[in-house]
């Protein structure tokens, strides 16, 4: 195998460069060293190729002027254009060849040349001189995948970028090589994940696999963040404000059922933001699919938010759609949103109540602020007439309380005037979302452009912009929920508005006859019970005395019995077992072996259970972790304790796959963990945040300190 390389390109020159530039370029190329992960053999091979290119160029420049003249028939002499000098690299310099091609940005050529070696299944030939496990070969291939992935990223091809990055990561993980590069790749994958989610969810309706994959990635991201407004870290560089805007972007690419499933699950963490978004999804599905039961569920969720924000108008809409007219009117009166109330009053002039205006407000709210945020509803038309005319809706509403006014006054769902559906609602038709204004459904992302290794700087936090839409918000960028539509936005504010739940509601929940004087009748003195207590106390005292005598005899007898087992032999194994379970394994001289690594991982799993469990024994973390992992897990335990939550782990299996020692004081351990995780909040199991079967692969970075093996970093795959 001989691969020709352009000598000018190897030195970074043009074909018109003179001797001075060739000398300078040769010195510069030798002074610029490749990445430190390359071996001395690869660097020496690279130097041989550079030196050979330099020598050929010098010979070419110093060649006689008439060397390029060819004698042609007929005595005519014409100049012959010669190709630039080339170096032909063979197998002995294969590592240097790949290294130079990588430095020249020829990522695809590196992969093409190396594929027969690192991918034996597609190999056309094999050479005994080039091993498929050669670290230099795998390093050039993985770095080329990394460069290629970043190039796809800059071009906006996010799934292609992820595929290239994952190929590099899998290649290195399989061989257990270059943890720093794998960490770099994983960091890029974390930052790339929001872009992938948006690209996948924005795919056409018939691309179900892509859509499903996008939803799966979104759930992984939420799990890492511990909820929409959680305190976890998904390493995407998106702060809470940016992530809220990102969630708002995604909503128009998800269906109503997808949003309902997702946000109801997230609301159980608990999360007020997710609860509010779940309300929107339930109302949208309930109204569009004529399922009032979903609207009733939405109304129940609104009760949880009433102490944090003014949600009376949403409650009024839900009550209206459930036919609970009196409750709807009461909710309007309690609302402090003056503009909306003024609109409702203006459109209810001449009516005995505010229901005509509320009907008009509800139709417009659903059409302009609810439907546009659901992929399957944005083109539908809202009609209260059709909703109340539906037989399934009527049958459900008749069974609900407070529907007397509806059943008595609503004689004709289409022509009745009780809800003002003939006038004034019909005089002002609802505004339809203008889909013609958005010419493309493609998401517009930021211009975050990752560069090639050694020559790139990461930009600031990427901000994902929402595709243009007639319902987009134009609020300032400083607001946490700036792009969340609705006049009051789809996310509850973080501060308490100061409005308390109606005292009358509290009174309804208070049981009758709860005065202190009537709650407990006076108790009479019972002589028989006193006698029983005295007898039991005497029996307990006698039993205690007998137990002391028995213990003394047993101890003295054991010392006189030759066949008895010494006390120290009984206690020692127990103490030893406790030490092995509760303390970090002592590091024996020499590199880490698989048996010791297994004990370290098992100790960590047991310590994690205690540190994040009900007793919050985070002081035990110092026995198995060191910074930065120690600080990270202590912070997690502190967050759980502050929120009155804890985790209950049950390890199903823990298997060490690979141990890669790095001298006597460092090592990398790859392990597969399978466990059950239960999340408790305020003493109650939260099934939404729990997992019955959590399986994952972790790479642990271990260091030896004070003759003990401690975990310094963890990388989850």
pLDDT in tens, 159-204: 999 999 999 999 999 888 899 999 999 999 999 999 999 999 998 8
Query: By percentage, how much of the chain surpasses pLDDT 90?
Result: 30
pLDDT for position 269 = 85
**What residues contact residue 44 under an 8 Å CB cut-off, 6+ apart?**
96
What tens digit of pLDDT does each residue of 260-315 get?
Answer: 999 999 998 888 899 999 999 999 999 999 999 999 999 989 988 877 788 899 99
SS3 call for 205: coil
The beta-strand segments (E) located in 145-303 are none
Over residues 454-477, the mean pLDDT reads 34
Query: By percentage, how much of the chain surpasses pLDDT 70?
Result: 68
Pick from 205, 197, 258, 254: which is nearest to 225 by CA? 197
pTM of the model: 0.57
Rounded Cα distance, 717 and 165, in Å: 13
Judge contact between 664 and 590, C-beta under 8 A.
yes
What's the pLDDT band for 230 if we cut at 50, 70, 90? confident
| pLDDT over threshold 60, residue 10 | yes
SS3 call for 480: coil
Residue 630, both tokens: 């120690």
| pLDDT over threshold 60, residue 48 | yes
Over residues 618-624, the mean pLDDT reads 89
SS3 call for 685: strand
Rounded Cα distance, 423 and 444, in Å: 42
Which is it for the CA torsion 411, 413, 418, 422, positive or negative?
negative
Containing 244, the helix (H) or strand (E) segment is: helix 240-251
| pLDDT over threshold 60, residue 438 | no
pLDDT for position 35 = 87
**What residues contact residue 648 under an 8 Å CB cut-off, 6+ apart?**
609, 613, 614, 677, 678, 679, 680
pLDDT for position 352 = 87
**What residues contact residue 153 under an 8 Å CB cut-off, 6+ apart?**
161, 188, 192, 195, 448, 449, 450
Judge contact between 714 and 183, C-beta under 8 A.
no
Containing 587, the helix (H) or strand (E) segment is: none
Which is it for the CA torsion 469, 475, 477, 483, positive or negative?
negative
pLDDT for position 121 = 62
**What residues contact residue 703 under an 8 Å CB cut-off, 6+ apart?**
626, 665, 666, 709, 710, 712
Higher per-residue pLDDT: 691 or 569? 691
**What residues contact residue 132 under an 8 Å CB cut-off, 6+ apart?**
117, 118, 120
| pLDDT over threshold 60, residue 436 | no
Residues in the chain, total: 717
According to CATH, what is the number of the domain 576-716? 3.10.450.240
| Cα→Cα distances 314→25, 318, 324, 349, 449, Å | 71, 6, 13, 22, 43
Rounded Cα distance, 656 and 595, in Å: 9
Over residues 114-127, the mean pLDDT reads 66
pLDDT for position 566 = 42
pLDDT for position 145 = 94
Strands 69-71 and 708-716: unpaired
Rounded Cα distance, 499 and 335, in Å: 10
Rounded Cα distance, 488 and 475, in Å: 11
Q: Return the biggest CA–CA distance within the chain.
A: 144
Place of tokens 């859509």: 211
Residue 50 burial (C-beta neighbours within 10 Å; 0-12, 13-18, 19+): buried
When mean pLDDT is compared across 7-11, 387-391, 455-459, 618-622, the lowest value belongs to 455-459
Over residues 349-360, the mean pLDDT reads 90
Place of tokens 């379970």: 581
Arithmetic mean of pLDDT over the chain: 74
Rounded Cα distance, 5 and 86, in Å: 5
Over residues 470-487, the mean pLDDT reads 36
SS3 call for 548: helix
Residue 416, both tokens: 């009745």
CA dihedral 542, 544, 546, 548 (to 10 degrees): -150
Higher per-residue pLDDT: 507 or 640? 640
Pick from 202, 194, 181: which is nearest to 102 by CA? 181
DSSP letter, residue 33: -
Judge contact between 162 and 149, C-beta under 8 A.
yes
| Cα→Cα distances 546→534, 536, 539, 556, 560, Å | 19, 16, 11, 16, 22
The residues spanned by each domain of the chain are 3-64+82-187, 226-230+241-432, 576-716
Over residues 451-476, the mean pLDDT reads 35
pLDDT for position 457 = 31
What tens digit of pLDDT does each residue of 626-656 get?
Answer: 988 888 888 888 878 888 889 988 888 888 9
| pLDDT over threshold 90, residue 250 | yes
Judge contact between 149 and 142, C-beta under 8 A.
no
Strands 86-89 and 708-716: unpaired
Over residues 615-619, the mean pLDDT reads 87
Pick from 444, 86, 464: which is nearest to 238 by CA? 464
């Amino acid at each position: 195998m001989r691969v020709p390389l352009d000598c000018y390109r190897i030195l970074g020159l043009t074909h018109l460069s003179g001797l001075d530039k060739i000398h300078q370029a040769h010195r510069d190329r030798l002074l610029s060293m490749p990445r430190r992960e390359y071996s001395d053999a690869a660097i020496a091979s690279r130097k041989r190729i550079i030196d050979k290119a330099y020598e050929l160029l010098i010979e070419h420049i110093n060649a006689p002027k008439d060397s390029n003249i060819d004698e042609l028939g007929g005595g005519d002499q014409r100049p012959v254009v010669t190709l630039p000098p080339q170096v032909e690299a063979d197998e002995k310099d294969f590592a240097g060849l790949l290294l130079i091609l990588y430095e020249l940005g020829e990522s695809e050529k590196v992969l093409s040349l190396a594929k027969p070696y690192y991918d034996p299944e597609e190999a056309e030939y094999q050479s005994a001189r080039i091993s498929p496990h050669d670290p230099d070969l795998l390093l050039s291939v993985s770095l080329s995948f990394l460069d290629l992935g970043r190039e796809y990223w800059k071009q906006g091809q996010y799934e292609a970028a992820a595929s290239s990055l994952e190929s590099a990561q899998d290649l290195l993980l399989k061989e257990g090589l270059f943890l720093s590069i794998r960490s770099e790749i994983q960091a890029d994958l974390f930052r790339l994940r929001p872009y992938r989610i948006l690209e996948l969810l924005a795919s056409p309706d018939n691309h179900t696999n892509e859509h499903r994959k996008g939803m799966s990635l979104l759930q992984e991201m939420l799990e890492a963040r511990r909820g929409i407004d959680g305190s976890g870290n998904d390493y995407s560089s998106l702060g809470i404000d940016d992530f809220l805007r990102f969630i708002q972007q995604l909503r128009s690419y998800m269906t109503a059922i997808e949003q309902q499933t997702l946000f109801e699950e997230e609301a159980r963490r608990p999360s007020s933001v997710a609860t509010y978004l779940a309300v929107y999804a339930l109302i949208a599905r309930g109204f569009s699919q004529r399922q009032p039961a979903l609207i009733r569920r939405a109304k129940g969720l609104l009760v949880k938010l009433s102490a944090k924000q003014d949600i009376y108008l949403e409650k009024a809409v839900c009550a209206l759609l459930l036919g609970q007219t009196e409750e709807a009117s009461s909710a309007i009166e309690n609302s402090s949103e003056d503009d909306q109330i003024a609109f409702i009053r203006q459109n209810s002039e001449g009516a005995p109540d505010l229901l005509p205006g509320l009907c008009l407000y509800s139709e417009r709210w659903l059409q302009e602020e609810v439907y546009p945020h659901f992929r399957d509803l944005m083109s539908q038309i809202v009609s209260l007439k059709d909703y109340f005319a539906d037989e399934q809706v009527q049958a459900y509403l008749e069974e609900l309380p407070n529907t007397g006014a509806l059943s008595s006054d609503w004689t004709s769902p289409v022509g009745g005037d009780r809800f003002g559906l003939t006038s004034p609602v019909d005089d002002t038709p609802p505004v339809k979302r203008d889909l013609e204004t958005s010419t493309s459904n493609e998401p517009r992302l930021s211009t975050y452009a990752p560069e090639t290794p050694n020559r790139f700087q990461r930009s600031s936090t990427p901000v994902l912009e929402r595709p243009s839409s007639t319902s987009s918000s134009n609020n300032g960028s400083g607001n946490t929920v700036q792009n969340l539509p609705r006049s009051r936005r789809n996310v509850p504010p973080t501060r308490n508005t100061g409005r308390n739940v109606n005292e009358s509601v509290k009174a309804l929940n208070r049981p009758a006859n709860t005065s202190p004087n009537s709650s407990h009748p006076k108790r009479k003195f019972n002589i028989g019970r006193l006698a029983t207590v005295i007898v039991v106390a005497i029996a307990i005292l006698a039993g205690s005395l007998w137990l002391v005598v028995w213990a003394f005899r047993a101890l003295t007898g054991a010392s006189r019995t030759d066949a008895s087992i010494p006390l120290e032999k009984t206690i020692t194994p127990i103490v030893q077992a406790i030490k092995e379970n509760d303390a970090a394994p002592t590091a024996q001289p020499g590199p880490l072996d698989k048996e010791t690594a297994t004990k370290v991982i098992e100790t960590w799993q047991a310590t994690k259970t205690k540190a994040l469990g009900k007793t919050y024994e985070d002081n035990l973390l110092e026995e198995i972790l060191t910074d930065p992992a120690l600080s990270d897990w202590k912070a997690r335990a502190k967050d759980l304790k502050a929120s009155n939550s804890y985790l209950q782990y049950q390890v199903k299996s823990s298997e060490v796959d690979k141990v890669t020692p790095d001298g006597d004081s460092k090592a990398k351990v790859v392990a597969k963990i399978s466990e059950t995780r239960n999340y408790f909040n305020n003493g109650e199991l939260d099934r939404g945040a729990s997992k019955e079967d959590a399986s994952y692969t972790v790479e642990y970075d271990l260091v030896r300190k004070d003759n003990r093996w401690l975990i310094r970093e963890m990388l989850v795959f």
